[in-house]
Amino acid sequence: GVLEELVNHQMERNAPAFDRCVAEAKRRNPSLHGQVTLAMTITAKKPSAIVSAVVDGASVDSALSTCLVTSARTLRVSLPDLSFPWSVSLGNAATTGGARAALP
């Protein structure tokens, strides 16, 4: 729907914040791969996140987790209060490549 498209547009616009985290992690571990799902929550236009799932055998170190969660808190969004998953690919620099928020 319209809200889902708005979420996807705003999250994709903020992708460089997550790209920096992945790039730093790839410098520490060049064989890093897989995907991390963040459980995003927007409250009063302020985002927060936790790492909710790690898939495809990703080895996520604490520095990457901290960077992703910290970056999520700095995103600039104009969204209503809601929660949604957001996937970050660790396989290349385009962290949001094809990622889509799936709203309930």
pLDDT 10s per residue in the chain (104 long)?
Answer: 889 899 999 999 988 999 999 999 999 988 888 888 888 999 988 888 887 766 666 667 889 989 999 999 988 888 889 999 988 888 754 444 445 565 65
Max Cα–Cα distance, the chain, nearest Å? 39
Tokens at 87, concatenated: 């996937």
Give pLDDT, residue 23.
Answer: 93
Give pLDDT, residue 92.
Answer: 56
Q: Could you tell me which residues come within 8 angstroms of residue 12 by beta carbon, excluding any fewer than 6 positions away?
A: 96, 99
Q: Could you tell me which residues come within 8 angstroms of residue 48 by beta carbon, excluding any fewer than 6 positions away?
A: 40, 41, 69, 72, 73
Nearest to 41 by CA among 84, 10, 11, 4: 84
